[in-house]
Structure 1
């Protein structure tokens, strides 16, 4: 495993340096990700860590490694592999076999094996499953990370009864309440100061929840787009088609739309549109709110598509040269926060429209306070009321 020494500097030095930790330590706004504590470190555990690129997964992993060593774990018992550097399935299989041999050679009773960006290798799960079934990892902790739900969360199904105490950990860009926290404010403090509330929300609408954008890195937008482009090519999708579909979606939101309407814009089939929208959902860029009447959900009716992070929405709009709509941004922020709270969101449209339905909430989002009447149970949120609402539902 000598060739991986550069990826595992803690094997050789107590005062090891790492580019991710060095960058994190120099950031003006930095935080220890709370999701670190969700990872199971009790053998046997097969953990799945996933979320969009640029959310700080690798940095969080390095913070975890630093903490484990500080607490007394043998540095030689921690193995980190970045699969972005692995060229093929065959190479990955050989590396894992070599790791098993090295583990025996070091005579370590229980290791932590971290496989970062496994979605870079097709069929990676076959290798892991083979060694799990052989009992090679029975005393170990494995952390598998990736940047798309397609490559990770859907692979969890391939390990029935084989995950031990392992957890699924989803890492998303920060929500508005989390953004407020890392900026150094308590919710009560913000709720009692309307000027501060407006200022922080205006900032969140631009920066969203990505570490680089929050810290105003010059390459934040470029890094996000580069990561998305990388995932597009890995999934063997057409770059131009992704851009065309995003452009069409942006021209229609926040209104409900059909896949056929996008297909007609672009002269392609609605099946192709659906496949690409699902792909963009897998990258945690988009999500869908279906039409709901009472308890009945109609997935065939027009859908509301929303962008899951303000910074990502802005970056993608500039990438495809389509102006971002303020009214859409506000609605999308509310949809995303209620999606995180309830796991699903819907909308309703008849002689009146309800933008967001989730749990017991029925919400209409307006840039300014609406004057016309809505059903009594509907909450109308103006732009100044949205951040207050988001902070309160978090509590």
Structure 2
């Protein structure tokens, strides 16, 4: 078995997840060394495993391999670490491959189905979610609901079938199949049918009811699951926060975005009615890929927050290259609210931005501007800590970009 010991412990969430799920992965998960499946390809081909199925397992490993997440509420916590292995099956029954070892000895394993479903191999194959993304979204939602709910009620067996779901709507991002989530006006319901179906055992049916979700909890829920207005969804899609279902090529294998894509952000904001001006001072210097991604995400998050929360018609992005660091300021011209308190949903975004900056050795500050508006300021190293670079004495003149 070969593994890369240089894999960072703090994971970067794969693209295509909701913001809540990304924060869950990056804030609560770990990325541990995992196997490179490439050396097994020839041996697996000799065993009659189709090359396309091997490619699916390799793609899963590159996207999810080595990701350790907190335990799931059911299924004895789910896989300890997401990890692909040799595909099994046939053209008639469909090919599946393991998704990771169980945390404890169990009568079923976790597998990825013929169409990418995340499920369990019990007495028979039972897909829980339409994708691994759905499984991760469900974990993130359970963590969120557990934190904000005033009450958590667990029921099982026939009592689950008696649940009245009138007035509830399904939560789409979990991509539920056997397992589903339902949203009401002040509660969430998670229904776990996997083991009941996989073992033909109705007594294994489970449901968790998260009650007493107040307006703040539901606001965060709505904000982070992408169920806001269609205009915001379109903007997020343009900014790259969402991946279209009909674009399977959009995967973690694509080049990570960086500051070179700022013109796309500017154009997207303009279409949403926000005029953004970008100013650069100093000679632009190469950034490491991780720093470049972090800088882009912070600007992206700050501008998205302006479109959501600020009654602003314009925003300014200022980049200043100063020796071995880049200083970025994002500000808007919103009205003076007369308070220095952050709006709750805006504050949640600030936490994520600050965590991104701190992870690479940077810093971030966010605060109201005197006279109105809001400003996010971050200073990031051009290269990861420990890299020898030029000193921090340069303060060149600036220039304006259209």
TM range (shorter): under 0.3
More helix by share: 1
Higher relative contact order (CA 8 A, sep 6+): 1
Query: With structure 2 as the length reference, what TM-score do the two structures score?
Result: 0.25
